[in-house]
Amino acid sequence: MTPIQPPDPPDAELRAQWMAPIVISPHDHSIIFAGYQKVFKSTTRGDKWEIMSPDLTKNDPKEMLIKNSNAIPYQTIVALAESPKKAGLMYVGSDDGRLHTTIDTGKEWTELTNKLPVRRWFSGLVPSKYAEGTVYVTQRGREDDDFAAYIYKSTDFGKTFTSIVNNIPAGPVNVIREHPANPNVLFVGTDFGVYVSTNGGAKWEVLGGNLPSTQVSDLQYHPVDHVLVISTYGRGMFAMDVSAIK
């Protein structure tokens, strides 16, 4: 086993969540991105790293001192994703509610924070596989005692966002996934279960009659078997045949 953690930057120690986001580029599997307070990039599967962003959090020592608990740092990157349509197009979200994007693998960054109405933990960033300018964003307010649902869609690279939460009543949203063959079908996992939309988020339905009302931490769609795999916090994993949803 070889450790591949990026080294501390010269100006500060690394800050990372308990589960720091590490993603493999969909365009080149030797490229890995890792989120701390900055984004790191490796083109050698983690053998060597380079810093590809400034600190993308507020980087306020006073706030960090107040909110740090149980040795888990605050003001860290908690979500990052590269577009499967365009190499170098990335979105990065932090636990203190900041959102950034780059179209050139970090040569220039644009902050999108003020394009959204609230500053909350970014639980999901999903650049669409169907349209280059489309990205789905989910936020959760559990850490701030806010249990509303937040789901947004942008079709212009994050210049504007539209809420698509619609009839989901409440519950922090933890994950969103696109259907692998139909851009109008979306799945989301909340603290109370799984919802599905067949019209791009205009209306949502509860998915699965016997799924317990529990926190859903992740969703993965198997494109060959048409099975949705659901992981939960404390209630195990479930597999559901969703071949009828097209």
The amino acid that residue 25 corresponds to is: S
* Polymer length of the chain: 246
- pLDDT surpasses 70 at 142: yes
pLDDT category of residue 68 using cuts at 50, 70 and 90 = low
pTM for the structure as a whole: 0.94
- For residues 243 and 221, the answer to whether their CB atoms sit within 8 Å is no
Lowest mean pLDDT among 5-19, 31-45, 145-159: 5-19
Q: Give the model's pLDDT for residue 124.
A: 96
Q: What percentage of the chain carries pLDDT values higher than 90? A: 83
Q: Give the model's pLDDT for residue 129.
A: 97
- pLDDT surpasses 70 at 92: yes
Q: Give the model's pLDDT for residue 13.
A: 86
Locate 66 and state its tokens: 């107040």
- pLDDT surpasses 70 at 191: yes
- For residues 121 and 140, the answer to whether their CB atoms sit within 8 Å is yes
Lowest mean pLDDT among 2-16, 123-137, 166-180: 2-16
Instruction: Indicate the SS3 state at residue 17.
Output: coil
- For residues 239 and 228, the answer to whether their CB atoms sit within 8 Å is yes
Q: In the chain, what's the furthest Cα-to-Cα distance?
A: 53
Whole-angstrom Cα distance, residue 123 to residue 175? 6
Rounded alpha-carbon distances, angstroms, from residue 171 to 32, 34, 106, 149 = 32, 28, 33, 5
Q: Give the model's pLDDT for residue 67.
A: 74
CATH label, 1-163, candidates 2.130.10.10, 2.60.40.1930, 1.10.10.10, 2.40.50.140: 2.130.10.10
Please give the residue that has the higher pLDDT: either 9 or 4.
Answer: 4
Please give the residue that has the higher pLDDT: either 133 or 18.
Answer: 133
Please list the residues that pair with 72 across neighbouring strands. 69
Rounded alpha-carbon distances, angstroms, from residue 195 to 9, 26, 169, 204, 238 = 41, 26, 11, 6, 14
Q: What is the 3-state secondary structure (H, E, C) of 38-74?
A: CEEEECCCCCCCEECCCCCCCCCHHHHHHHCECCECC
Q: Give the model's pLDDT for residue 69.
A: 59
Q: Give the model's pLDDT for residue 2.
A: 85
Average pLDDT over the chain reads: 94
Question: Left, alpha or beta for 135 (phi > 0: left; psi -120 to 50: alpha)?
Answer: beta
- pLDDT surpasses 90 at 71: no
Query: What would the mean pLDDT of 98-117 be, rounded to a whole number?
Result: 97
Q: Give the model's pLDDT for residue 70.
A: 58
Please list the residues that pair with 188 across neighbouring strands. 176, 195
pLDDT per position as a tens digit, 24-45: 999 999 999 999 999 999 999 9
pLDDT category of residue 99 using cuts at 50, 70 and 90 = very high
CA-based nearest residue to 74, from 121, 23, 113, 109: 121
Dihedral (CA of 122, 124, 130, 132) sign: positive
- pLDDT surpasses 80 at 97: yes
Q: Give the model's pLDDT for residue 209.
A: 80
Query: What would the mean pLDDT of 174-191 be, rounded to a whole number?
Result: 97
